[in-house]
Structure 1
Protein backbone atom coordinates (compact mmCIF):
# COMPACT_ATOMS: atom_id res chain seq x y z
CA UNK A 1 0.00 0.00 0.00
CA UNK A 2 1.22 3.44 -0.91
CA UNK A 3 -1.67 5.73 0.00
CA UNK A 4 -0.96 9.35 -0.87
CA UNK A 5 1.74 8.41 -3.32
CA UNK A 6 1.83 10.35 -6.62
CA UNK A 7 2.83 8.77 -9.88
CA UNK A 8 6.03 10.41 -11.09
CA UNK A 9 5.12 9.97 -14.80
CA UNK A 10 1.53 11.28 -14.90
CA UNK A 11 1.37 13.26 -11.70
CA UNK A 12 -1.84 11.39 -10.71
CA UNK A 13 -2.36 10.12 -7.19
CA UNK A 14 -2.28 6.39 -6.51
CA UNK A 15 -5.29 4.53 -5.09
CA UNK A 16 -3.07 2.50 -2.79
CA UNK A 17 -3.82 -0.78 -4.63
CA UNK A 18 -0.93 -2.82 -5.95
CA UNK A 19 -0.80 -6.19 -7.75
CA UNK A 20 2.53 -7.85 -8.46
CA UNK A 21 4.29 -4.52 -8.51
CA UNK A 22 1.67 -2.81 -10.63
CA UNK A 23 0.13 0.21 -8.90
CA UNK A 24 -3.32 1.58 -9.69
CA UNK A 25 -3.73 5.25 -10.58
CA UNK A 26 -6.60 7.20 -9.11
CA UNK A 27 -7.55 8.60 -12.52
CA UNK A 28 -10.56 10.96 -12.39
CA UNK A 29 -13.64 10.27 -14.52
CA UNK A 30 -13.43 12.33 -17.75
CA UNK A 31 -15.61 15.42 -17.66
CA UNK A 32 -17.31 14.43 -20.91
CA UNK A 33 -18.81 11.41 -19.09
CA UNK A 34 -20.37 13.68 -16.50
CA UNK A 35 -21.68 15.85 -19.31
CA UNK A 36 -23.49 12.99 -21.00
CA UNK A 37 -24.81 11.64 -17.69
CA UNK A 38 -26.27 15.05 -16.86
CA UNK A 39 -27.67 15.33 -20.42
CA UNK A 40 -29.29 11.88 -20.17
CA UNK A 41 -30.79 12.74 -16.80
CA UNK A 42 -32.16 16.03 -18.11
CA UNK A 43 -33.66 14.22 -21.13
CA UNK A 44 -35.28 11.63 -18.88
CA UNK A 45 -36.81 14.28 -16.63
CA UNK A 46 -38.02 16.23 -19.67
CA UNK A 47 -39.53 13.08 -21.22
CA UNK A 48 -41.29 12.20 -17.96
CA UNK A 49 -42.84 15.66 -17.87
CA UNK A 50 -43.81 15.95 -21.54
CA UNK A 51 -44.76 12.40 -22.56
CA UNK A 52 -46.87 9.56 -21.08
CA UNK A 53 -44.52 7.78 -18.71
CA UNK A 54 -45.48 6.61 -15.22
CA UNK A 55 -48.25 4.13 -14.44
CA UNK A 56 -50.17 4.64 -11.22
CA UNK A 57 -52.49 1.65 -10.96
CA UNK A 58 -55.64 2.80 -12.74
CA UNK A 59 -53.93 4.91 -15.38
CA UNK A 60 -50.71 6.69 -16.24
CA UNK A 61 -49.28 10.17 -16.38
CA UNK A 62 -50.47 11.79 -19.61
CA UNK A 63 -47.59 14.23 -20.08
CA UNK A 64 -47.82 17.94 -20.78
CA UNK A 65 -47.92 17.41 -24.56
CA UNK A 66 -50.86 15.00 -24.38
CA UNK A 67 -49.25 12.66 -26.96
CA UNK A 68 -50.72 9.13 -27.17
CA UNK A 69 -50.57 6.18 -29.56
CA UNK A 70 -54.18 6.94 -30.44
CA UNK A 71 -53.33 10.46 -31.58
CA UNK A 72 -50.41 9.10 -33.60
CA UNK A 73 -52.58 6.53 -35.34
CA UNK A 74 -55.28 9.15 -35.97
CA UNK A 75 -52.71 11.43 -37.56
CA UNK A 76 -51.43 8.59 -39.77
CA UNK A 77 -54.97 7.73 -40.84
CA UNK A 78 -55.73 11.33 -41.69
CA UNK A 79 -52.57 11.55 -43.76
CA UNK A 80 -53.36 8.28 -45.53
CA UNK A 81 -56.91 9.47 -46.25
CA UNK A 82 -55.53 12.71 -47.64
CA UNK A 83 -53.09 10.87 -49.89
CA UNK A 84 -55.82 8.44 -51.00
CA UNK A 85 -58.30 11.20 -51.77
CA UNK A 86 -56.13 12.53 -54.58
CA UNK A 87 -56.40 9.41 -56.74
CA UNK A 88 -59.74 8.05 -55.51
CA UNK A 89 -61.37 11.26 -56.71
CA UNK A 90 -60.05 10.55 -60.19
CA UNK A 91 -61.28 6.97 -60.08
CA UNK A 92 -64.68 8.05 -58.84
CA UNK A 93 -65.18 10.52 -61.67
CA UNK A 94 -63.51 8.67 -64.55
CA UNK A 95 -65.07 5.95 -66.67
CA UNK A 96 -63.91 2.34 -66.45
CA UNK A 97 -62.26 2.60 -69.86
CA UNK A 98 -60.39 5.79 -68.97
CA UNK A 99 -59.07 4.27 -65.76
CA UNK A 100 -57.94 1.11 -67.54
CA UNK A 101 -56.04 3.30 -70.01
CA UNK A 102 -54.25 5.21 -67.23
CA UNK A 103 -51.15 3.31 -65.97
CA UNK A 104 -50.83 5.41 -62.81
CA UNK A 105 -54.44 4.83 -61.77
CA UNK A 106 -54.20 1.12 -62.57
CA UNK A 107 -51.17 0.83 -60.30
CA UNK A 108 -53.28 2.26 -57.49
CA UNK A 109 -56.13 -0.09 -58.45
CA UNK A 110 -53.86 -3.14 -58.25
CA UNK A 111 -52.40 -2.13 -54.88
CA UNK A 112 -55.72 -1.30 -53.25
CA UNK A 113 -57.74 -3.93 -55.11
CA UNK A 114 -55.47 -6.71 -53.86
CA UNK A 115 -56.44 -5.87 -50.27
CA UNK A 116 -60.13 -5.45 -51.09
CA UNK A 117 -60.16 -8.79 -52.91
CA UNK A 118 -58.31 -10.58 -50.12
CA UNK A 119 -60.66 -9.22 -47.45
CA UNK A 120 -63.94 -9.81 -49.30
CA UNK A 121 -63.62 -12.32 -52.15
CA UNK A 122 -60.71 -14.70 -51.59
CA UNK A 123 -62.57 -16.89 -49.10
CA UNK A 124 -64.82 -18.16 -51.93
CA UNK A 125 -62.94 -17.49 -55.16
CA UNK A 126 -59.51 -18.39 -53.77
CA UNK A 127 -56.45 -16.23 -53.19
CA UNK A 128 -55.49 -16.72 -56.84
CA UNK A 129 -59.06 -15.98 -58.04
CA UNK A 130 -59.23 -19.35 -59.82
CA UNK A 131 -62.29 -20.43 -57.87
CA UNK A 132 -63.27 -23.99 -57.12
CA UNK A 133 -66.24 -26.30 -57.45
CA UNK A 134 -69.31 -24.08 -57.16
CA UNK A 135 -67.23 -20.89 -57.06
CA UNK A 136 -66.46 -19.23 -60.41
CA UNK A 137 -62.96 -18.78 -61.75
CA UNK A 138 -62.55 -15.02 -62.18
CA UNK A 139 -59.64 -15.34 -64.58
CA UNK A 140 -61.09 -17.51 -67.34
CA UNK A 141 -63.45 -14.98 -68.93
CA UNK A 142 -66.52 -17.23 -68.57
CA UNK A 143 -68.96 -14.76 -67.00
CA UNK A 144 -72.43 -15.92 -65.98
CA UNK A 145 -73.83 -12.39 -65.86
CA UNK A 146 -71.58 -10.68 -68.39
CA UNK A 147 -67.95 -9.68 -68.25
CA UNK A 148 -68.17 -5.96 -68.99
CA UNK A 149 -67.03 -3.61 -66.23
CA UNK A 150 -70.58 -2.41 -65.73
CA UNK A 151 -71.96 -5.97 -65.47
CA UNK A 152 -69.28 -7.11 -63.01
CA UNK A 153 -69.77 -3.97 -60.92
CA UNK A 154 -73.52 -4.59 -60.76
CA UNK A 155 -73.00 -8.21 -59.70
CA UNK A 156 -70.74 -7.05 -56.87
CA UNK A 157 -73.30 -4.43 -55.84
CA UNK A 158 -76.45 -6.58 -55.67
CA UNK A 159 -75.07 -10.12 -55.41
CA UNK A 160 -76.66 -13.30 -56.72
CA UNK A 161 -79.64 -14.84 -54.94
CA UNK A 162 -78.82 -12.48 -52.08
CA UNK A 163 -81.14 -10.56 -49.70
CA UNK A 164 -80.65 -7.38 -51.76
CA UNK A 165 -83.95 -6.21 -53.25
CA UNK A 166 -82.34 -5.89 -56.69
CA UNK A 167 -80.30 -9.09 -56.50
CA UNK A 168 -79.57 -11.11 -59.60
CA UNK A 169 -81.68 -14.27 -59.36
CA UNK A 170 -80.86 -17.59 -60.97
CA UNK A 171 -81.72 -21.22 -60.32
CA UNK A 172 -81.11 -24.43 -62.21
CA UNK A 173 -84.22 -26.61 -61.95
CA UNK A 174 -84.01 -30.05 -60.37
CA UNK A 175 -85.33 -32.02 -63.35
CA UNK A 176 -84.87 -35.42 -61.76
CA UNK A 177 -85.60 -34.75 -58.11
CA UNK A 178 -88.79 -32.87 -58.94
CA UNK A 179 -89.95 -35.53 -61.41
CA UNK A 180 -89.82 -33.42 -64.58
CA UNK A 181 -87.55 -35.89 -66.41
CA UNK A 182 -86.95 -39.62 -66.06
CA UNK A 183 -83.53 -41.16 -65.62
CA UNK A 184 -83.16 -42.16 -69.28
CA UNK A 185 -84.03 -38.65 -70.47
CA UNK A 186 -81.52 -37.16 -68.04
CA UNK A 187 -78.79 -39.53 -69.27
CA UNK A 188 -79.61 -38.54 -72.84
CA UNK A 189 -79.47 -34.80 -72.19
CA UNK A 190 -76.25 -35.23 -70.21
CA UNK A 191 -74.70 -36.93 -73.23
CA UNK A 192 -75.87 -34.11 -75.49
CA UNK A 193 -74.73 -31.32 -73.17
CA UNK A 194 -71.27 -32.83 -72.80
CA UNK A 195 -71.00 -33.18 -76.58
CA UNK A 196 -71.57 -29.43 -76.99
CA UNK A 197 -68.17 -28.64 -75.47
CA UNK A 198 -66.50 -31.82 -76.71
CA UNK A 199 -67.88 -33.00 -80.07
CA UNK A 200 -65.73 -36.11 -79.87
CA UNK A 201 -68.14 -37.40 -77.22
CA UNK A 202 -70.90 -37.56 -79.83
CA UNK A 203 -69.16 -40.47 -81.56
CA UNK A 204 -66.41 -42.90 -80.70
CA UNK A 205 -65.97 -46.48 -79.59
CA UNK A 206 -69.62 -46.83 -78.70
CA UNK A 207 -70.63 -45.80 -82.20
CA UNK A 208 -74.34 -45.64 -82.94
CA UNK A 209 -75.59 -46.16 -79.38
CA UNK A 210 -73.72 -43.06 -78.20
CA UNK A 211 -74.96 -41.11 -81.22
CA UNK A 212 -78.50 -42.17 -80.42
CA UNK A 213 -78.16 -40.86 -76.85
CA UNK A 214 -76.89 -37.52 -78.12
CA UNK A 215 -79.69 -37.23 -80.69
CA UNK A 216 -82.31 -38.06 -78.09
CA UNK A 217 -80.67 -35.67 -75.65
CA UNK A 218 -80.87 -32.86 -78.16
CA UNK A 219 -84.64 -33.21 -78.24
CA UNK A 220 -84.81 -33.19 -74.44
CA UNK A 221 -82.55 -30.13 -74.38
CA UNK A 222 -84.65 -28.16 -76.85
CA UNK A 223 -87.83 -28.83 -74.87
CA UNK A 224 -86.46 -28.25 -71.37
CA UNK A 225 -83.16 -26.34 -71.42
CA UNK A 226 -83.03 -24.08 -74.46
CA UNK A 227 -85.27 -21.45 -72.89
CA UNK A 228 -82.44 -20.54 -70.52
CA UNK A 229 -79.25 -21.80 -72.19
CA UNK A 230 -80.31 -20.94 -75.73
CA UNK A 231 -80.96 -23.26 -78.66
CA UNK A 232 -77.23 -23.27 -79.41
CA UNK A 233 -76.33 -23.84 -75.74
CA UNK A 234 -74.27 -20.65 -75.54
CA UNK A 235 -76.08 -19.42 -72.45
CA UNK A 236 -77.76 -16.16 -71.53
CA UNK A 237 -76.07 -13.52 -69.39
CA UNK A 238 -79.43 -11.86 -68.72
CA UNK A 239 -80.48 -14.97 -66.81
CA UNK A 240 -77.13 -16.10 -65.46
CA UNK A 241 -77.40 -19.25 -67.55
CA UNK A 242 -73.90 -20.60 -68.37
CA UNK A 243 -72.48 -21.25 -71.80
CA UNK A 244 -72.49 -25.03 -72.27
CA UNK A 245 -70.31 -25.01 -75.39
CA UNK A 246 -67.07 -23.87 -73.76
CA UNK A 247 -64.74 -25.86 -71.48
CA UNK A 248 -65.54 -24.04 -68.24
CA UNK A 249 -67.66 -26.01 -65.79
CA UNK A 250 -68.68 -24.45 -62.50
CA UNK A 251 -69.65 -27.77 -60.88
CA UNK A 252 -67.59 -30.13 -63.03
CA UNK A 253 -67.96 -31.38 -66.60
CA UNK A 254 -67.56 -35.10 -66.08
CA UNK A 255 -70.58 -37.34 -66.69
CA UNK A 256 -71.46 -37.78 -63.01
CA UNK A 257 -71.17 -34.08 -62.19
CA UNK A 258 -73.37 -33.03 -65.09
CA UNK A 259 -75.90 -35.74 -64.18
CA UNK A 260 -75.98 -34.46 -60.58
CA UNK A 261 -76.55 -30.92 -61.82
CA UNK A 262 -79.44 -31.89 -64.09
CA UNK A 263 -80.99 -34.26 -61.56
CA UNK A 264 -80.75 -32.10 -58.42
CA UNK A 265 -80.48 -28.57 -59.81
CA UNK A 266 -78.16 -25.79 -58.72
CA UNK A 267 -78.62 -22.44 -57.01
CA UNK A 268 -75.45 -20.50 -56.30
CA UNK A 269 -75.18 -17.59 -53.92
CA UNK A 270 -73.05 -14.47 -53.84
CA UNK A 271 -73.39 -11.81 -51.12
CA UNK A 272 -74.18 -8.24 -52.07
CA UNK A 273 -71.56 -5.65 -51.20
CA UNK A 274 -73.47 -2.38 -51.54
CA UNK A 275 -73.69 -1.85 -47.79
CA UNK A 276 -70.22 -3.09 -46.93
CA UNK A 277 -68.17 -1.42 -49.66
CA UNK A 278 -68.35 2.17 -50.86
CA UNK A 279 -69.05 3.04 -54.49
CA UNK A 280 -65.38 3.78 -55.18
CA UNK A 281 -64.20 0.58 -53.46
CA UNK A 282 -66.61 -1.50 -55.57
CA UNK A 283 -65.30 0.28 -58.65
CA UNK A 284 -61.71 -0.48 -57.67
CA UNK A 285 -62.61 -4.11 -56.96
CA UNK A 286 -64.31 -4.43 -60.35
CA UNK A 287 -61.25 -3.06 -62.15
CA UNK A 288 -58.95 -5.30 -60.13
CA UNK A 289 -60.94 -8.45 -60.95
CA UNK A 290 -61.05 -7.60 -64.65
CA UNK A 291 -57.33 -6.92 -64.54
CA UNK A 292 -56.71 -10.39 -63.11
CA UNK A 293 -58.37 -11.92 -66.15
CA UNK A 294 -56.32 -9.79 -68.55
CA UNK A 295 -53.18 -11.83 -67.90
CA UNK A 296 -51.32 -8.86 -66.45
CA UNK A 297 -49.30 -9.24 -63.22
Structure 2
Protein backbone atom coordinates (compact mmCIF):
# COMPACT_ATOMS: atom_id res chain seq x y z
CA UNK A 1 0.00 0.00 0.00
CA UNK A 2 1.40 3.36 -1.07
CA UNK A 3 1.88 5.75 1.83
CA UNK A 4 -0.07 9.00 1.49
CA UNK A 5 1.94 12.12 0.92
CA UNK A 6 1.55 14.77 3.62
CA UNK A 7 1.88 18.43 2.70
CA UNK A 8 4.71 19.92 4.73
CA UNK A 9 3.10 23.37 5.13
CA UNK A 10 -0.51 22.45 6.04
CA UNK A 11 -0.01 18.93 7.34
CA UNK A 12 -2.91 17.74 5.17
CA UNK A 13 -2.59 14.67 3.00
CA UNK A 14 -2.68 15.17 -0.76
CA UNK A 15 -4.66 13.30 -3.40
CA UNK A 16 -1.57 11.54 -4.67
CA UNK A 17 -1.55 13.36 -7.99
CA UNK A 18 1.19 15.72 -9.04
CA UNK A 19 1.34 18.18 -11.93
CA UNK A 20 4.59 19.98 -12.56
CA UNK A 21 5.51 19.66 -8.90
CA UNK A 22 2.11 20.89 -7.73
CA UNK A 23 0.07 18.63 -5.47
CA UNK A 24 -3.66 18.92 -4.61
CA UNK A 25 -4.68 18.88 -0.96
CA UNK A 26 -7.25 16.23 -0.07
CA UNK A 27 -9.43 18.50 2.11
CA UNK A 28 -12.86 17.04 2.92
CA UNK A 29 -15.99 18.92 1.77
CA UNK A 30 -17.69 21.03 4.47
CA UNK A 31 -20.42 19.08 6.24
CA UNK A 32 -23.01 21.81 5.67
CA UNK A 33 -22.31 21.67 1.90
CA UNK A 34 -22.63 17.88 1.80
CA UNK A 35 -25.92 17.87 3.70
CA UNK A 36 -27.25 20.64 1.42
CA UNK A 37 -26.28 18.61 -1.63
CA UNK A 38 -27.95 15.48 -0.24
CA UNK A 39 -31.08 17.52 0.51
CA UNK A 40 -31.26 18.79 -3.09
CA UNK A 41 -30.99 15.22 -4.38
CA UNK A 42 -33.84 14.13 -2.11
CA UNK A 43 -35.87 17.17 -3.13
CA UNK A 44 -35.32 16.46 -6.84
CA UNK A 45 -36.45 12.86 -6.48
CA UNK A 46 -39.52 13.89 -4.47
CA UNK A 47 -40.37 16.57 -7.03
CA UNK A 48 -40.27 14.14 -9.95
CA UNK A 49 -42.57 11.80 -8.02
CA UNK A 50 -45.05 14.53 -7.07
CA UNK A 51 -45.17 16.47 -10.36
CA UNK A 52 -45.12 15.59 -14.09
CA UNK A 53 -41.48 15.05 -14.92
CA UNK A 54 -40.27 11.91 -16.66
CA UNK A 55 -40.84 11.86 -20.43
CA UNK A 56 -42.51 8.83 -21.96
CA UNK A 57 -43.07 7.95 -25.63
CA UNK A 58 -46.18 10.07 -26.13
CA UNK A 59 -46.58 11.94 -22.85
CA UNK A 60 -44.95 12.20 -19.43
CA UNK A 61 -45.49 10.85 -15.93
CA UNK A 62 -48.48 12.58 -14.31
CA UNK A 63 -47.07 12.80 -10.79
CA UNK A 64 -48.96 11.80 -7.65
CA UNK A 65 -50.36 15.34 -7.34
CA UNK A 66 -51.63 15.25 -10.95
CA UNK A 67 -50.74 18.92 -11.37
CA UNK A 68 -51.16 20.51 -14.81
CA UNK A 69 -50.08 24.03 -15.73
CA UNK A 70 -52.59 24.01 -18.59
CA UNK A 71 -55.30 22.96 -16.17
CA UNK A 72 -54.28 25.80 -13.87
CA UNK A 73 -54.56 28.30 -16.72
CA UNK A 74 -58.01 26.94 -17.61
CA UNK A 75 -59.17 27.37 -14.03
CA UNK A 76 -57.83 30.92 -13.90
CA UNK A 77 -59.54 31.80 -17.18
CA UNK A 78 -62.80 30.29 -15.94
CA UNK A 79 -62.55 32.34 -12.76
CA UNK A 80 -61.86 35.51 -14.76
CA UNK A 81 -64.86 34.85 -17.01
CA UNK A 82 -67.06 34.29 -13.99
CA UNK A 83 -65.90 37.60 -12.51
CA UNK A 84 -66.68 39.36 -15.80
CA UNK A 85 -70.18 37.97 -16.12
CA UNK A 86 -71.77 40.50 -13.79
CA UNK A 87 -70.25 43.37 -15.75
CA UNK A 88 -71.22 41.90 -19.10
CA UNK A 89 -74.79 41.37 -17.90
CA UNK A 90 -74.96 44.98 -16.69
CA UNK A 91 -73.59 46.32 -19.99
CA UNK A 92 -76.13 44.26 -21.90
CA UNK A 93 -78.98 45.70 -19.83
CA UNK A 94 -77.92 49.36 -19.82
CA UNK A 95 -77.56 52.13 -22.37
CA UNK A 96 -74.18 53.65 -23.20
CA UNK A 97 -74.97 56.73 -21.10
CA UNK A 98 -75.93 54.58 -18.12
CA UNK A 99 -72.73 52.59 -18.48
CA UNK A 100 -70.65 55.78 -18.47
CA UNK A 101 -72.46 56.99 -15.35
CA UNK A 102 -71.33 53.92 -13.39
CA UNK A 103 -67.64 54.29 -12.51
CA UNK A 104 -66.67 50.62 -12.22
CA UNK A 105 -68.79 49.63 -15.20
CA UNK A 106 -67.31 52.44 -17.28
CA UNK A 107 -63.76 51.34 -16.41
CA UNK A 108 -64.54 47.73 -17.37
CA UNK A 109 -66.22 48.76 -20.65
CA UNK A 110 -63.35 51.11 -21.53
CA UNK A 111 -60.73 48.39 -21.01
CA UNK A 112 -62.78 45.82 -22.93
CA UNK A 113 -63.51 48.32 -25.70
CA UNK A 114 -59.81 49.13 -26.04
CA UNK A 115 -59.05 45.43 -26.59
CA UNK A 116 -61.83 45.14 -29.19
CA UNK A 117 -60.57 48.32 -30.89
CA UNK A 118 -57.05 46.89 -31.21
CA UNK A 119 -58.40 43.80 -32.94
CA UNK A 120 -61.02 45.32 -35.25
CA UNK A 121 -60.44 49.05 -35.72
CA UNK A 122 -56.73 49.86 -35.82
CA UNK A 123 -56.45 48.74 -39.44
CA UNK A 124 -58.28 51.92 -40.48
CA UNK A 125 -58.15 54.28 -37.51
CA UNK A 126 -54.57 53.37 -36.43
CA UNK A 127 -53.40 52.11 -33.04
CA UNK A 128 -53.77 55.50 -31.37
CA UNK A 129 -57.14 56.19 -33.07
CA UNK A 130 -55.49 59.14 -34.82
CA UNK A 131 -56.76 57.97 -38.19
CA UNK A 132 -55.08 58.24 -41.58
CA UNK A 133 -55.97 59.77 -44.97
CA UNK A 134 -59.57 58.77 -45.65
CA UNK A 135 -60.11 57.44 -42.12
CA UNK A 136 -61.13 59.93 -39.42
CA UNK A 137 -59.22 60.81 -36.30
CA UNK A 138 -61.30 59.72 -33.31
CA UNK A 139 -59.42 61.93 -30.84
CA UNK A 140 -60.53 65.33 -32.17
CA UNK A 141 -63.82 67.18 -31.80
CA UNK A 142 -64.96 66.88 -35.43
CA UNK A 143 -67.62 64.20 -35.95
CA UNK A 144 -69.35 63.68 -39.28
CA UNK A 145 -72.32 61.89 -37.73
CA UNK A 146 -72.15 63.22 -34.17
CA UNK A 147 -69.80 62.58 -31.26
CA UNK A 148 -72.14 61.90 -28.35
CA UNK A 149 -71.97 58.46 -26.74
CA UNK A 150 -75.28 57.42 -28.29
CA UNK A 151 -74.33 58.75 -31.73
CA UNK A 152 -71.01 56.92 -31.66
CA UNK A 153 -72.85 53.76 -30.63
CA UNK A 154 -75.24 54.12 -33.55
CA UNK A 155 -72.42 54.70 -36.03
CA UNK A 156 -70.48 51.66 -34.84
CA UNK A 157 -73.61 49.51 -34.83
CA UNK A 158 -74.89 50.36 -38.31
CA UNK A 159 -71.81 51.65 -40.09
CA UNK A 160 -71.59 54.22 -42.85
CA UNK A 161 -72.84 53.53 -46.38
CA UNK A 162 -72.78 49.81 -45.54
CA UNK A 163 -75.13 48.20 -48.02
CA UNK A 164 -76.03 45.17 -45.88
CA UNK A 165 -77.46 47.26 -43.03
CA UNK A 166 -80.76 49.06 -43.76
CA UNK A 167 -80.15 51.50 -40.88
CA UNK A 168 -76.66 52.53 -41.95
CA UNK A 169 -75.74 56.21 -42.30
CA UNK A 170 -76.32 57.06 -45.95
CA UNK A 171 -75.27 60.09 -47.95
CA UNK A 172 -73.10 60.62 -50.99
CA UNK A 173 -71.43 63.68 -52.35
CA UNK A 174 -72.15 63.94 -56.08
CA UNK A 175 -69.38 64.15 -58.67
CA UNK A 176 -69.48 67.82 -59.62
CA UNK A 177 -67.27 67.27 -62.66
CA UNK A 178 -70.53 66.42 -64.41
CA UNK A 179 -72.25 69.60 -63.18
CA UNK A 180 -69.64 72.34 -62.93
CA UNK A 181 -67.03 73.63 -65.34
CA UNK A 182 -63.33 73.37 -64.57
CA UNK A 183 -63.31 77.10 -63.82
CA UNK A 184 -66.19 76.82 -61.37
CA UNK A 185 -64.51 73.91 -59.61
CA UNK A 186 -61.32 75.97 -59.29
CA UNK A 187 -63.29 78.91 -57.90
CA UNK A 188 -65.27 76.93 -55.34
CA UNK A 189 -62.12 75.08 -54.26
CA UNK A 190 -60.40 78.41 -53.65
CA UNK A 191 -63.40 79.63 -51.66
CA UNK A 192 -63.53 76.52 -49.48
CA UNK A 193 -59.75 76.63 -48.91
CA UNK A 194 -60.00 80.31 -47.92
CA UNK A 195 -62.31 79.40 -45.04
CA UNK A 196 -59.39 77.90 -43.11
CA UNK A 197 -56.27 79.40 -44.69
CA UNK A 198 -54.68 81.46 -47.46
CA UNK A 199 -55.26 80.68 -51.17
CA UNK A 200 -53.13 81.07 -54.28
CA UNK A 201 -55.52 83.47 -56.05
CA UNK A 202 -57.80 85.54 -53.79
CA UNK A 203 -59.71 86.74 -56.86
CA UNK A 204 -61.34 83.31 -57.10
CA UNK A 205 -62.85 83.48 -53.64
CA UNK A 206 -65.80 85.77 -54.46
CA UNK A 207 -67.03 83.85 -57.53
CA UNK A 208 -66.33 80.63 -55.65
CA UNK A 209 -68.64 81.69 -52.84
CA UNK A 210 -71.48 82.03 -55.37
CA UNK A 211 -70.82 78.55 -56.75
CA UNK A 212 -70.79 77.25 -53.19
CA UNK A 213 -74.12 78.90 -52.37
CA UNK A 214 -75.73 77.38 -55.47
CA UNK A 215 -74.24 73.89 -55.37
CA UNK A 216 -72.83 73.09 -51.92
CA UNK A 217 -74.73 75.00 -49.25
CA UNK A 218 -77.67 72.58 -49.36
CA UNK A 219 -75.52 69.96 -47.59
CA UNK A 220 -72.67 71.89 -45.98
CA UNK A 221 -74.82 74.85 -44.88
CA UNK A 222 -74.70 78.48 -45.89
CA UNK A 223 -71.91 79.03 -43.36
CA UNK A 224 -70.08 75.85 -44.49
CA UNK A 225 -70.27 74.45 -40.96
CA UNK A 226 -71.59 71.12 -42.21
CA UNK A 227 -74.65 69.01 -41.42
CA UNK A 228 -74.42 65.91 -39.26
CA UNK A 229 -77.78 64.63 -40.45
CA UNK A 230 -76.15 64.17 -43.85
CA UNK A 231 -72.60 63.44 -42.72
CA UNK A 232 -71.47 66.65 -44.44
CA UNK A 233 -68.24 67.89 -42.84
CA UNK A 234 -67.47 71.32 -41.46
CA UNK A 235 -65.37 73.07 -44.12
CA UNK A 236 -64.25 75.98 -41.95
CA UNK A 237 -61.82 74.13 -39.68
CA UNK A 238 -58.40 72.67 -40.41
CA UNK A 239 -59.53 69.04 -40.25
CA UNK A 240 -59.58 67.35 -43.66
CA UNK A 241 -60.42 63.72 -44.27
CA UNK A 242 -59.09 63.47 -47.82
CA UNK A 243 -56.42 66.16 -47.79
CA UNK A 244 -56.29 69.93 -47.49
CA UNK A 245 -55.41 72.62 -50.00
CA UNK A 246 -57.05 73.73 -53.21
CA UNK A 247 -55.80 70.79 -55.28
CA UNK A 248 -57.10 68.16 -52.85
CA UNK A 249 -60.41 70.01 -52.46
CA UNK A 250 -60.81 70.29 -56.23
CA UNK A 251 -60.18 66.57 -56.62
CA UNK A 252 -62.85 65.81 -54.04
CA UNK A 253 -65.30 68.16 -55.78
CA UNK A 254 -64.67 66.58 -59.19
CA UNK A 255 -64.72 62.91 -58.15
CA UNK A 256 -65.55 62.60 -54.45
CA UNK A 257 -64.51 59.71 -52.24
CA UNK A 258 -67.41 58.39 -50.20
CA UNK A 259 -65.95 56.19 -47.50
CA UNK A 260 -67.57 53.03 -46.18
CA UNK A 261 -67.49 51.77 -42.61
CA UNK A 262 -68.75 48.25 -41.77
CA UNK A 263 -71.75 47.76 -39.52
CA UNK A 264 -70.19 46.15 -36.47
CA UNK A 265 -73.41 45.39 -34.63
CA UNK A 266 -74.07 42.11 -36.42
CA UNK A 267 -70.42 41.08 -36.28
CA UNK A 268 -69.54 41.87 -32.67
CA UNK A 269 -72.84 41.88 -30.82
CA UNK A 270 -74.40 44.64 -28.75
CA UNK A 271 -72.18 44.22 -25.68
CA UNK A 272 -68.89 44.65 -27.55
CA UNK A 273 -70.32 47.52 -29.59
CA UNK A 274 -71.31 49.33 -26.39
CA UNK A 275 -67.84 48.73 -24.98
CA UNK A 276 -66.33 50.13 -28.17
CA UNK A 277 -68.59 53.18 -27.99
CA UNK A 278 -67.56 53.86 -24.39
CA UNK A 279 -63.88 53.47 -25.29
CA UNK A 280 -64.05 55.75 -28.34
CA UNK A 281 -66.03 58.32 -26.37
CA UNK A 282 -63.36 58.22 -23.64
CA UNK A 283 -60.58 59.20 -26.04
CA UNK A 284 -61.34 62.85 -25.44
CA UNK A 285 -62.89 63.92 -28.72
CA UNK A 286 -66.37 62.72 -27.87
CA UNK A 287 -69.08 65.21 -27.00
Q: TM-score range by the shorter chain?
A: 0.7 to 0.9
Cα displacement string for residues 175-194 of structure 1 (whole angstroms, at most 9, x for unaligned residues): 21xx2332223223323433
State the 1:130 CA deviation: 1.8
> Residue 184 of structure 2 corresponds to which residue in structure 1?
185
Q: Distance in 2 between matches of 1:238 and 1:118?
A: 29
Rate the CA distance shift 1:18–1:48 in 2: closer, same or farther, 3 A.
closer
SS at structure 2 position matched to 1:63: coil
Rate the CA distance shift 1:186–1:32 in 2: closer, same or farther, 3 A.
same
Give the alignment's Cα RMSD to 1 decimal: 3.6
Q: 1:2, 1:16 within 8 Å by CA — same for their partners in 2?
A: no
Q: 2:96, 2:277 within 8 Å by CA — same for their partners in 1?
A: no
> Residue 193 of structure 2 corresponds to which residue in structure 1?
194
Cα displacement string for residues 185-204 of structure 1 (whole angstroms, at most 9, x for unaligned residues): 32233234334x33876xx9
Q: Distance in 2 between matches of 1:211 and 1:190?
A: 11
Q: Distance in 2 between matches of 1:145 and 1:242?
A: 9
State the 1:68 CA deviation: 2.9
Cα displacement string for residues 237-260 of structure 1 (whole angstroms, at most 9, x for unaligned residues): 233222233332211231011111
Q: Distance in 1 between matches of 2:33 and 2:196?
A: 86
Rate the CA distance shift 1:98–1:18 in 2: closer, same or farther, 3 A.
same
Q: 1:125, 1:136 within 8 Å by CA — same for their partners in 2?
A: yes
Q: Distance in 2 between matches of 1:146 and 1:278?
A: 22
> Residue 137 of structure 2 corresponds to which residue in structure 1?
137
What runs of 5+ residues in structure 1 fail to find an aligned partner?
Answer: none
SS at structure 1 position matched to 2:265: coil
Rate the CA distance shift 1:18–1:123 in 2: closer, same or farther, 3 A.
closer
TM-score between the two structures when normalised by the length of structure 1: 0.75
Q: Distance in 2 between matches of 1:183 and 1:98?
A: 52
5 Å-filtered alignment, 1:82-231, equals 82-162=82-162, 164-166=164-166, 167-176=168-177, 179-195=178-194, 197-198=195-196, 206-207=202-203, 210-222=205-217, 226=218, 228-231=219-222
Q: 2:140, 2:285 within 8 Å by CA — same for their partners in 1?
A: no
Cα displacement string for residues 148-194 of structure 1 (whole angstroms, at most 9, x for unaligned residues): 21111121122223354233333222221xx2332223223323433
State the 1:17 CA deviation: 5.2
State the 1:78 CA deviation: 1.3
Q: 2:191, 2:206 within 8 Å by CA — same for their partners in 1?
A: no
What runs of 5+ residues in structure 2 fail to find an aligned partner?
Answer: none
Q: Distance in 1 between matches of 2:171 and 2:45?
A: 70
Rate the CA distance shift 1:66–1:154 in 2: closer, same or farther, 3 A.
farther
SS at structure 2 position matched to 1:170: coil
> Residue 258 of structure 2 corresponds to which residue in structure 1?
267
TM-score between the two structures when normalised by the length of structure 2: 0.77
Matched, 1:292 2:287: no
Q: Distance in 2 between matches of 1:61 and 1:186?
A: 79
State the 1:15 CA deviation: 6.8
5 Å-filtered alignment, 1:5-154, equals 27=28, 35-154=35-154
